[in-house]
Structure 1
Amino acid sequence: MSGICGWIGHGGQEDGQRGLLNAMAVPMRRFDDAALHCHVGKLSAVAVAATPGAARLLRVGQVQLAIWGRPRLRDATLAQQAQGEGLGRVLAGLWRQGPELLCQQLAGSFALCLIDEAAGEALLALDRMGTLPLSWQLSGETLVFASTADALRRHPAAPARIDPQSIYNYVYFHMVPGPDSIYRGQQRMAAGHYLHYRQGSVEQRCYWRIAFEEQGGAPFGELREQFRQVLRSSVKEAADGARTGAFLSGGTDSSTIAGVLGEVGGAPARTYSIGFDAPEYDESAYARIAADHFHTEHHAYYVTPQDVVDAIPRIGAVFDQPFGNASAVPAYYCARLAKADGIERLLGGDGGDELFGGNERYAKQSVFARYERLPRLLRRALEPAVHHFPGRDRLYLTRKAHSYIAQATVAMPARLETYNLLGRYGPSQVFSDDFLAQTDAGAPLASLSATYGRSEARSLINRMMALDLKITLADNDLPKVVKACELAGMQVAFPFLDDAMVAFSTRLTPAQKLNGTQLRYFFKEALRGFLPEAILRKQKHGFGLPFGVWLQDHAGLRELAGASLHSLAKRGVVRPAFIEQLLSQHLREHAGYHGTMVWVLMMLEQWYQQHEDRRV
């Protein structure tokens, strides 16, 4: 792993300060013992735990810079200056012109800390997509920061008390949405934001938020050529400086990256995929179609139930927040396969759905939106007629009409959570009374609505994509892949999140993303003839895990899940009766559906064991 940690506004003896930095860095070096580089001042300290090429510590006069990731300068003159004088000197010069200007000049993926102790100021900043994590806490006049919550809480000014609301939000979303943390008082930097510390106080600002043009412009042929040029440039940039391969699930995004990687590299790409001995989940045949089409050097690994048992504690350990996306397991084994093959960096296709309109709910919600466009008087007449129709539930058409209207009348974005798993069970059936008394059941939807409301997009699909850039991408998919790769000792980059690619996507019209109910319309048409037709036609899947199915048949997996849930039941969070019902009744009724909640609760307990219980 790599990362940064440190503080400003807290003094002490140099030996003690260095010892504290070393203690904070322990969680960031847990899996690979990365080299540690430190600087200690009178009232500040900063360290980077660095695997080669992943992080660096720079000093320019009185200014200290800790950089994790691969930032670039947008301005060509400044970029050339940095080649001669060094990136640190250019950033220090920009800092003197203000934090906003500095952040706006940065491209690429990065988490940045700048400390100007003489001025009593510091800057924390995250890239536009929020690729890398950075947590912080202000205690009195001391600002403490770190790449993981575990590192942050090792500073005496940052006591760690679990926030019950964050646990509730985790069970609701299957992750803890930022900027909140599992620990009360801690905050996580948001994508496209910076934090300016000045003489004991902090100010947070958004320096970038996606803005959609939404108007038609260039003809298709011109857009297609621009897209392909940006795509090649983005993949080339992402692959630069390391022995690079590509994740290959057989979907449109990973197949595109694999094909372009071979083009820009001048040799067949090295690709890596996973499979399962579970036909409904196994996508390896599509990965093979793409590999054969692009003549890649393809490698596949078949994940077994025992692999899942072995990985679960490690997955629980590498995530500093509770994390319930089961596809972290296959992502880890895929990255480990590439590592064993000598690959240093993998390219992931994440972001394509959120930029080009590929998530299935976009089409579904567009159907509901048609109902909203009906005249209000017509809706007022329809609704009671359908809801009170005699024998409604016995007739297919009236039953479907009732379901459609019931969902269509729910306002966005709450409509996206109509089938939320926690909502289906009922919070009062899942959580203990004492736990619920400490939480706000409306908080998850309130935070979702706040994020949705910040978008200035006019079209429904662009508003949903702006929401997904945070909830689906920054809070879920990116941490999943980044942490899984860290666990395997692998760098990762995301060509679709290159700034030029993001900017290109904003110029597409809503209809070029969702044409009727056709998802990713422009993307697929622009790559027709490049991607195999079978890939263009296939349903979206990804690295799903057949956990519920395997839970029925594999004793070791069943024992680990059962032991984890029974241990969780003793923590006063979840009702023991719900645990028993989930394991004994619900799983028999529908293993795939209810297996999701088993996984979510199991990983919550694994987080407790790997993080909280270890410090007792």
Structure 2
Amino acid sequence: MSGLCGWIGHGTGAADNRVLIENMAAPLAAFDATPVRALQGARSAAAVAALGPSAHLYQNDGLTVALWGQPALAGAGPAQLGGDGLAEALAQAWRRDPDSVCASLSGAFSLCILDEPRGEALLAIDRMGTQQMSYQAAAGALVFASSADAIVRHPLTPAVIDPQGLYNYVYFHMVPGPGTVYRGQERLLPGEYLRFKDGRINKRAYWRMVFRERPEQDESQLKDQFRQILRNSVREASGGQQVGAFLSGGTDSSTIAGILCEVGGKPANTYSIGFEAEGYDEMSYARLASRHFGTSHHEYYVTPDDVVDAIPRIAAVFDQPFGNASAVPAFYCARMAGADGVTRMLGGDGGDELFGGNERYSKQHIFAMYEQVPGMLRKALLEPAVFNFPGGKNIKLIRKARSYIEQASVPMPARLETYNLLGRFGPSQVFTDDFLASADTDAPLASLAHTYAQSDASSLINRMLALDLKITLADNDLPKVVKACELAAMEVAFPFLSDEMVAFSSRLTARQKLNGTQLRWFFKEALRGFLPDQIITKQKHGFGLPFGVWLQKHKPLQELALDSLTGLKARRIVRPEFIDALVGQHLEEHAGYHGTMVWVLMMMEQWFRQREAQRG
């Protein structure tokens, strides 16, 4: 694992602080024995666990800078940034103008600056939230780390579970920032920095997504620019390392694979995961992309036994409960690449959230059309006719009309959660009364509404994209891939998330992203002739895990799930009777649908067990 950790405002001397910072940093190198470098003062310390080019440390006159990543610094040339020159340049920038430090950085990074003489600190992460940072203020000190597993090792910030974090996890299948699963702990949001002084925290956004929504050039010029930015981004993400690419056969991964062949001047190493389960295997599209671009292709079929082996390991690598089952195939894909000598994988994440590729965007466009019908017509004519139609429950067309109106009448962004799994079951049916008394069941939707309101985009598609950059990408997909790769001792980079690519996407019009109901219209048109037509027109799928299907037939998987859910009963979070119904009646009714809840609850219990084993 890579990351950084530290604190300011605590300690009695450099010697004791050295012992403590090394203890805090241990989880950061737990899975791949990444080298750890640390610096300490009388009342502060910082450590970075990363391979040489990604670890930057500097200390002088009580000022400590620790940086994880390989970002670019505006106005600085390669000669200034060799070795720990980047950290020193950031120290100088801090002394000149503390508020401008973060805006001068581009690329993926986590940063801390500890100014012990002034009792001040700065924490920051990159614009997309590729790398994370948690923090907690306690007893006049600030403790921070890329992983909560490091923070809870500090004596001022022991682990205390926050019921709200657990509730949010079951609702979203992850814990969205700025919240965490620990009481008193929070996370920085993408493009955010934190200033700490005199025991007080002040957070601000140094960058946010702004959509121009006006065409500036004709589309032929835009397409040329896009292809050039793709080449630049893939070349930069490769970083001179032995690289490979995830290849699911979708538009994003296929694009990265093809561009990697182009800029590398040789067949790219590509890696795909398959499943021997009907409706889940997309290996044919990955093979199609590989043949089209001439990649050096590698495949692995994940089995139910692989899933059993991976579950406790996946739970261990995440610093809080995480319920996206796609982490399992991502891990096996990265591990396969590592066995070939690959040291960095390129992921296609971000394409959907920048260019309009998720199916819900077209669906919400259709629902939004109802809002354009005059209110008087809706209330006085349409809705009475549909909902009062004699025998309407027995007429398919009327049932569909009712469902459409009901969903279209829900305001955004709550409408996105119409089919939320926890909402369908009902919180009072899932959780115990005592647990619900300590959690706010309205908090998840309130947090969505808060994030949705932060965007000033004038179009629905761009408001949804801004929401997904945080909720879908930074809170879910990026941690999934980053942590799965960490478990496989693999670095990962995301070419679509380069600052240049993000800025380019913001200049496209709403129609260039969603043309009626046609998803990622400009993206596909720009790559027509480069990507195979079958991939451009295919339905979106991804690395979905057939967990529910396998759970019905594979005994070791059944035993692990049942043992996990039995253990969860004793924690008095989830109602025992709900668990019994879930693994009995519900799973039999619809394995895929209800299997998701089994997975989410199983991974929560496995996360608890891994943390208890580490402390024990």
Give 3-state SS (helix, strand or coil) of 1:322's partner. coil
Q: Which residue of 1 aligns with 2:528?
A: 528
The Cα of 1:36 is off from its aligned counterpart by 1.8
RMSD (Å), alpha carbons: 1.3
**What letter is aligned with 2:220?**
G
Is residue 275 from structure 1 mapped to residue 288 from structure 2 by the alignment?
no
Partners of 1:81 and 1:456 lie apart in 2 by: 38
The Cα of 1:16 is off from its aligned counterpart by 2.1
Q: Which residue of 2 aligns with 1:202?
A: 201
The Cα of 1:33 is off from its aligned counterpart by 2.4
The Cα of 1:133 is off from its aligned counterpart by 1.4
Partners of 1:146 and 1:257 lie apart in 2 by: 31
Instruction: Tell whether the 8 Å contact from 1:121 to 1:199 is kept in structure 2 after alignment.
Output: yes
Is residue 191 from structure 1 mapped to residue 190 from structure 2 by the alignment?
yes
Q: Which residue of 2 aligns with 1:291?
A: 290
The Cα of 1:85 is off from its aligned counterpart by 8.9
Is residue 438 from structure 1 mapped to residue 458 from structure 2 by the alignment?
no
Query: Alpha carbons of 1:402 and 1:94: their partners in 2 closer, same or farther (altered >3 Å)?
Result: same
Query: Alpha carbons of 1:384 and 1:351: their partners in 2 closer, same or farther (altered >3 Å)?
Result: same
Q: Which residue of 2 aligns with 1:610?
A: 610
Instruction: Tell whether the 8 Å contact from 1:141 to 1:200 is kept in structure 2 after alignment.
Output: yes
Aligned residues with identical type, % of pairs: 64
Judge which range, 394-403 or 24-33, deviates more.
Answer: 24-33
Partners of 2:107 and 2:208 lie apart in 1 by: 15
Instruction: Tell whether the 8 Å contact from 1:31 to 1:487 is kept in structure 2 after alignment.
Output: yes
Partners of 2:320 and 2:84 lie apart in 1 by: 39
The Cα of 1:547 is off from its aligned counterpart by 0.3
Is residue 346 from structure 1 mapped to residue 324 from structure 2 by the alignment?
no
The Cα of 1:80 is off from its aligned counterpart by 5.8
The Cα of 1:121 is off from its aligned counterpart by 1.4
**What letter is aligned with 2:511?**
A
Q: Which residue of 1 aligns with 2:239?
A: 240
What does 1:521-560 correspond to in 2, within 5 Å? 521-560=521-560
**What letter is aligned with 1:264?**
V
Q: Which residue of 2 aligns with 1:174?
A: 173
Q: Which residue of 2 aligns with 1:216?
A: 215
Partners of 2:95 and 2:605 lie apart in 1 by: 47
Give 3-state SS (helix, strand or coil) of 2:393's partner. helix
Give 3-state SS (helix, strand or coil) of 1:119's partner. coil
Partners of 2:444 and 2:410 lie apart in 1 by: 16
TM superposition outliers: structure 1 runs of 4+ over 6 Å: none
Give 3-state SS (helix, strand or coil) of 1:20's partner. helix
Instruction: Tell whether the 8 Å contact from 1:126 to 1:134 is kept in structure 2 after alignment.
Output: yes
The Cα of 1:79 is off from its aligned counterpart by 5.7
What does 1:67-82 correspond to in 2, within 5 Å? 67-75=67-75, 77=76, 81-82=80-81
Is residue 474 from structure 1 mapped to residue 474 from structure 2 by the alignment?
yes
What does 1:241-260 correspond to in 2, within 5 Å? 241-260=240-259
Q: Which residue of 1 aligns with 2:328?
A: 329
Q: Which residue of 2 aligns with 1:495?
A: 495
Instruction: Tell whether the 8 Å contact from 2:5 to 2:145 is kept in structure 1 after alignment.
Output: yes
Instruction: Tell whether the 8 Å contact from 1:123 to 1:194 is kept in structure 2 after alignment.
Output: yes
**What letter is aligned with 2:564?**
S
Query: Alpha carbons of 1:247 and 1:80: their partners in 2 closer, same or farther (altered >3 Å)?
Result: same
What does 1:1-80 correspond to in 2, within 5 Å? 1-75=1-75, 77=76
What CA deviation, in whole Å up to 9, does each residue of 1:218-241 have, x standing for no partner?
A: 111000001011110000000022
Partners of 2:592 and 2:270 lie apart in 1 by: 29
Partners of 2:569 and 2:532 lie apart in 1 by: 49
The Cα of 1:84 is off from its aligned counterpart by 9.9
Partners of 1:23 and 1:608 lie apart in 2 by: 21
Instruction: Tell whether the 8 Å contact from 1:349 to 1:496 is kept in structure 2 after alignment.
Output: yes
Partners of 1:92 and 1:26 lie apart in 2 by: 26
Instruction: Tell whether the 8 Å contact from 2:13 to 2:41 is kept in structure 1 after alignment.
Output: no
Judge which range, 14-23 or 518-527, deviates more.
Answer: 14-23
Q: Which residue of 1 aligns with 2:517?
A: 517
Give 3-state SS (helix, strand or coil) of 1:572's partner. coil
Give 3-state SS (helix, strand or coil) of 2:107's partner. strand
**What letter is aligned with 2:27?**
P
Is residue 93 from structure 1 mapped to residue 92 from structure 2 by the alignment?
yes
Partners of 2:258 and 2:428 lie apart in 1 by: 50
Q: Which residue of 2 aligns with 1:418?
A: 418
For structure 1, which runs of at least 5 residues remain unmatched after alignment?
Answer: none
Partners of 1:12 and 1:248 lie apart in 2 by: 52
Q: Which residue of 1 aligns with 2:453?
A: 453
Instruction: Tell whether the 8 Å contact from 1:73 to 1:79 is kept in structure 2 after alignment.
Output: no
The Cα of 1:72 is off from its aligned counterpart by 0.8
Q: Which residue of 2 aligns with 1:397?
A: 397
Query: Alpha carbons of 1:84 and 1:40: their partners in 2 closer, same or farther (altered >3 Å)?
Result: closer
Query: Alpha carbons of 1:522 and 1:60: their partners in 2 closer, same or farther (altered >3 Å)?
Result: farther
Partners of 2:374 and 2:98 lie apart in 1 by: 49
Instruction: Tell whether the 8 Å contact from 2:512 to 2:521 is kept in structure 1 after alignment.
Output: yes
Query: Alpha carbons of 1:89 and 1:54: their partners in 2 closer, same or farther (altered >3 Å)?
Result: closer
Give 3-state SS (helix, strand or coil) of 2:121's partner. strand
Instruction: Tell whether the 8 Å contact from 1:142 to 1:200 is kept in structure 2 after alignment.
Output: yes
TM-score, L = length of structure 1: 0.98
Q: Which residue of 2 aligns with 1:120?
A: 119
**What letter is aligned with 1:173?**
F
Give 3-state SS (helix, strand or coil) of 1:580's partner. helix
For structure 2, which runs of at least 5 residues remain unmatched after alignment?
Answer: none
Instruction: Tell whether the 8 Å contact from 1:274 to 1:330 is kept in structure 2 after alignment.
Output: yes
What CA deviation, in whole Å up to 9, does each residue of 1:57-91 have, x standing for no partner?
A: 2235542211112211233x556643599212321
Q: Which residue of 2 aligns with 1:407?
A: 407
The Cα of 1:215 is off from its aligned counterpart by 1.3
Instruction: Tell whether the 8 Å contact from 1:274 to 1:334 is kept in structure 2 after alignment.
Output: yes
TM-score, L = length of structure 2: 0.98
What CA deviation, in whole Å up to 9, does each residue of 1:198-225 have, x standing for no partner?
A: 2332211100000000112211100000
Query: Alpha carbons of 1:431 and 1:531: their partners in 2 closer, same or farther (altered >3 Å)?
Result: same
**What letter is aligned with 2:461?**
I
Query: Alpha carbons of 1:65 and 1:241: their partners in 2 closer, same or farther (altered >3 Å)?
Result: farther
What CA deviation, in whole Å up to 9, does each residue of 1:9-28 have, x standing for no partner?
A: 01224332122112111221
Partners of 1:290 and 1:200 lie apart in 2 by: 54
Q: Which residue of 2 aligns with 1:303?
A: 302
**What letter is aligned with 1:378?**
L
Give 3-state SS (helix, strand or coil) of 2:256's partner. helix
Partners of 1:211 and 1:369 lie apart in 2 by: 22
Instruction: Tell whether the 8 Å contact from 1:169 to 1:176 is kept in structure 2 after alignment.
Output: yes
Q: Which residue of 1 aligns with 2:108?
A: 109
**What letter is aligned with 1:509?**
T
The Cα of 1:93 is off from its aligned counterpart by 1.8
What CA deviation, in whole Å up to 9, does each residue of 1:304-336 have, x standing for no partner?
A: 000000000000000001000000000000000
**What letter is aligned with 1:256?**
T
Give 3-state SS (helix, strand or coil) of 1:184's partner. coil
The Cα of 1:560 is off from its aligned counterpart by 0.3
Give 3-state SS (helix, strand or coil) of 1:228's partner. helix
Partners of 2:236 and 2:541 lie apart in 1 by: 27
Is residue 584 from structure 1 mapped to residue 584 from structure 2 by the alignment?
yes
Give 3-state SS (helix, strand or coil) of 2:252's partner. helix
Instruction: Tell whether the 8 Å contact from 2:57 to 2:84 is kept in structure 1 after alignment.
Output: no
Partners of 2:84 and 2:365 lie apart in 1 by: 52
Query: Alpha carbons of 1:564 and 1:253: their partners in 2 closer, same or farther (altered >3 Å)?
Result: same
Give 3-state SS (helix, strand or coil) of 1:57's partner. strand
**What letter is aligned with 2:547?**
F
Partners of 1:222 and 1:40 lie apart in 2 by: 52
Partners of 1:302 and 1:503 lie apart in 2 by: 37
**What letter is aligned with 2:8?**
I
Instruction: Tell whether the 8 Å contact from 2:110 to 2:125 is kept in structure 1 after alignment.
Output: yes
Give 3-state SS (helix, strand or coil) of 1:112's partner. strand
**What letter is aligned with 1:397?**
L
Partners of 1:94 and 1:39 lie apart in 2 by: 20
Partners of 2:53 and 2:317 lie apart in 1 by: 21
Instruction: Tell whether the 8 Å contact from 2:37 to 2:49 is kept in structure 1 after alignment.
Output: yes
Instruction: Tell whether the 8 Å contact from 1:180 to 1:188 is kept in structure 2 after alignment.
Output: yes
Instruction: Tell whether the 8 Å contact from 1:315 to 1:328 is kept in structure 2 after alignment.
Output: yes
